[in-house]
């Protein structure tokens, strides 16, 4: 899926995967929900969904999520509109509706969760290369532990310790 740009092929794979896996997983999924709910009830929690949220350190996790979503929503909507426009140019207006969600089957993965497989279509400034910082990092003797320390320092600077 990651390399194909054939609309019909991608749509067929997407639909068949869901048709076959959905039938096989339906009963197992329902059983999983029942077990999660039982675990939740045993822990004095309303349901399995609430139990799942309880693993996070915030008592207001849903509200926190909603607040963060509202903050980043304009950026996401702008990116989504840009990607949809680039895909519309590539596949045509008969396939991509100007005002609808992006069809997940053309994103190049089975779950429609990444745009990385369609970078060749959506990157601005086609033909320009990505900056490769590897030679500079080698020159400065970066190692995996060094990278870990840099990342740790960065997150600590954001108070994510």
110-146 residue pLDDT tens: 899 999 999 999 999 877 887 889 999 999 999 999 9
**What does the alpha-carbon distance between residue 23 and residue 16 come to, in Å, rounded to a whole number?**
11
What are the structural domain ranges in the chain?
7-130, 131-160
Please tell me the predicted confidence (pLDDT) of residue 158: 87
**What does the alpha-carbon distance between residue 40 and residue 48 come to, in Å, rounded to a whole number?**
5
Which DSSP string do the residues of 41-74 spell out, in sequence order? HHTT-SSHHHHHHTTSS-TTHHHHHHHHHHHHHH
79-120 residue pLDDT tens: 999 999 999 999 999 999 999 999 999 999 889 999 999 999
8-62 residue pLDDT tens: 999 999 999 999 998 889 999 999 999 999 999 999 999 999 898 888 878 888 8
Answer whether 80's CB lies under 8 Å from 102's CB.
yes
Please tell me the predicted confidence (pLDDT) of residue 10: 96
pLDDT of residue 161 exceeding 80, the answer is no
Please tell me the predicted confidence (pLDDT) of residue 59: 82
Answer whether 77's CB lies under 8 Å from 83's CB.
no
Q: For the beta carbon of residue 115, count every other beta carbon within 10 angstroms.
A: 19
The tokens 């190692």 sit on which residue? 143
Please tell me the predicted confidence (pLDDT) of residue 127: 79
Please tell me the predicted confidence (pLDDT) of residue 73: 98
**What does the alpha-carbon distance between residue 40 and residue 50 come to, in Å, rounded to a whole number?**
8
């Amino acid at each position: 899926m990651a390399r194909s740009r054939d609309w019909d092929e991608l749509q067929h794979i997407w639909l068949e995967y869901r048709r076959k896996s959905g039938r096989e997983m339906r009963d197992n999924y329902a059983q999983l929900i029942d077990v999660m709910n039982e675990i939740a009830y045993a822990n004095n929690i309303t349901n399995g969904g609430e139990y799942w949220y309880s693993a996070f350190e915030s008592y207001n996790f849903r509200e926190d999520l909603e607040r963060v979503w509202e903050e980043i929503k304009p950026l996401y909507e702008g990116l989504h509109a840009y990607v949809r426009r680039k895909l519309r140019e590539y596949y045509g207006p008969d396939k991509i509706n100007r005002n609808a969600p992006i069809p997940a089957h053309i994103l190049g993965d089975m779950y429609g969760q990444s745009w990385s497989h369609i970078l060749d279509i959506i990157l601005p400034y086609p033909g320009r290369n990505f900056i490769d910082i590897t030679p500079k990092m080698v020159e400065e003797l970066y190692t995996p532990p060094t990278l870990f320390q840099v990342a740790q320092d960065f997150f600590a600077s954001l108070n994510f310790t």
